[in-house]
Structures are given as C-alpha cells and as structure tokens.
Structure 1
Amino acid sequence: MSPSSLYRTIARAEAVTWTLLIVAMILKYGIKVGDWPVSIAGFIHGFVFLTYIVAAILVGMNQRWSKVLILGAAATSVIPFLTIPFDKWLERKGKLVGPWRKEASDHPADQRWTDSTMRWLVARPMLTSITLFVVIVAVFSTMLVMGPPGGRG
C-alpha cells in the first residue's frame, strides 16, 4: 500500500465514522433511543480518529511535509468531513506523490535520526503495523478509562 492510498483510505474512514457518530447523536438526542448508538459509534470513531492522526504523522514524515502541515493534517480530523477536502488538496499539491522511502538518498534530511527511524519503520511494514496498532489501542484504552469529553452522564 502506497503512502497515498494509506492516507486516503484512513481519511475516508475517518469521514465515514463522523457520519456514524452524527447519526448516533441524532438517534440519542432527537429520537431518544438511549445511549447505545453513541457508545458504539463513538467507540468506532475514536479508534479511527487516533488511527488517522498516526497515519497523518507517518505519511507526513515519509513525504517530508513540514511540521505545520503534519499538525494541520492531524487537526483536520477534529472537524467533521474535513479530511476529504484536505486529502484532495494534498493530492493537487503533489504532497502524496511517491513511494515509501526505504533507502537513504542524497537529501540532507536523510541524515537526521527521524528519517533513519522512518526508513527502518517502513522497511518493516508488518512489525510497524503491529506496533502502531498496539500504541493506538493503548492510547485508546487510556482514553476510555478517562471517560468521554465532558464527563459521564
């Protein structure tokens, strides 16, 4: 899977989970069916939200985006559906072009520890996927223990 297809897939999944969460909120507050729709949709959205942020960082580092652009990409997940137009903007600007960088090049940034770590990670996609999944689950679990924004009830 290329950086572009990974980013695009997760950006779209993030928008879909926003839809699920909004529909669940309508069911909870408008139709008053109880908390269960928001519990389910919120769980799914929360996990995909964190996955999108990790993907934005990973793809951004691979594509040598600026720190501001990486932060901006992560921030688009906060506003419903903004990941889709942002993805299209990245595509138009050529920010998603290119494969995973597994080898060092003559680019000066390739001498930094962050880039060598990035190359090591993308050269081991299975290990990286498992590790990032564990990290996302750990962060997500911690957030579940802390409770929803605004408290419970």
Structure 2
Amino acid sequence: MSLRVAVTPRVLFRIFATAEVVTWAGLIAALILRATGVTAEAVSIAGGIHGFVFLSYCAVTVFVWINQKWSAGLGILALALSIIPFATLPLELTIDKQGKLAGGWRLAKGGDEPVGFFEHIQAWVLRRPILAICLVVVLLAVVFSVLLILGPPVQLS
C-alpha cells in the first residue's frame, strides 16, 4: 500500500503562501536582532531563505493563476501581497473560501487542451513534472544567486 498525496493548486498555493509568512517572521526577527545589537549575521541567513521562498511563491502564484484562470487583477494582487509581511496567508484563506483554488490541474495529461503560450508551457510542465521541477529549481537557483551577488539595493552605512 502506498500513500500518495495529490498536490492540487490549492495545496501548492497554501504551502507557499504559508512559507512566505514564516520566512517573513524569520526575517523580521533577524532585523530586530540586528537592531538590538544581538547579531547581524542572522539577517543574511533569514534574508537568503526569505528571498528564495519569495521567488518560489511568485513562480507558484503565476502557475496557479494560469491554471485557475484568475483575473489579471487577482493575479497581480497575489504577487503584490508577497511584499507585505504576512499578507499571503489571509489572501490564500480568502480566495480559497471564494472557490478560486478549487479543482485539479486542468491542463494535465488527459485534461483541457492548452490555448496560448502560457497554457502550453503549463501543459508541458504538468505532463513532464520531474524534468520541469529540475528546470525550475535550476532557474530559481540562478536567479537567487544573481540577486545574492548583486546584494541589497541600498547599502547600509
């Protein structure tokens, strides 16, 4: 007997909305530790983790947005709320209650035929999940590494 958990759009979005909240808490705690003179190193660690989760949340949000056929306004709101501490979880709870996370992956094998560029990409991802996950992890790691090399937008004195 094997246990198989279905990763639906709802489950995937909830995981990353929650992770975004948790990493915001870690980053804010690290900033408080730095401001109180306890340690400055925690900001680099918490900031790095939060940055990676932030990029992952954005990628997942776009993926779910396409699948669920959200309006542009809702999709942009979901992305924008990721920059406000703790805002992704209330958003997730609200849109879940509205049924905007219901259902499975409509473009998966045997599902709807993709229409347009972004739906074709999503259909390819859903039909080749292992390869797609590897490519996404590499892409996120590259983007994350470039952002780490560039450093913060403003140097603190």
Check if 1:9 corresponds to 2:4: no
Question: Whole-Å Cα distance in 1 between the matches of residues 81 and 17 of structure 2?
Answer: 9
Check if 1:84 corresponds to 2:89: yes
Worse-superposed segment, 48-57 or 116-125: 116-125
The aligned runs of 1:1-150 (5 Å cut-off) are 1-30=7-36, 32-101=37-106, 102=108, 103-105=110-112, 110-150=114-154
Cα deviation for residue 7 of structure 1 reads 0.6
Report the equivalent of 2:3: none
Question: Whole-Å Cα distance in 1 between the matches of residues 33 and 81 of structure 2?
Answer: 25
Structure 1: runs of 5 or more not aligned = none
Worse-superposed segment, 97-106 or 62-71: 97-106
Matched position secondary structure for 2:82: coil
Question: Whole-Å Cα distance in 1 between the matches of residues 82 and 115 of structure 2?
Answer: 31
Structure 2: runs of 5 or more not aligned = 1-6
Q: What is the aligned residue count? A: 149
- 1:14-51 deviations in whole A, cap 9, x for unaligned? 10000001111111102x02320101111111110110
Question: Whole-Å Cα distance in 2 between the matches of residues 125 and 80 of structure 1?
Answer: 31
- 1:55-89 deviations in whole A, cap 9, x for unaligned? 10011111111222222111111000000000011
Question: Whole-Å Cα distance in 2 between the matches of residues 135 and 52 of structure 1?
Answer: 14
Letter in 2 for 1:105: D
Letter in 2 for 1:85: P
Q: 1:142 to 1:152 in 2, by over 3 A?
A: farther
TM-score by length of 1: 0.90
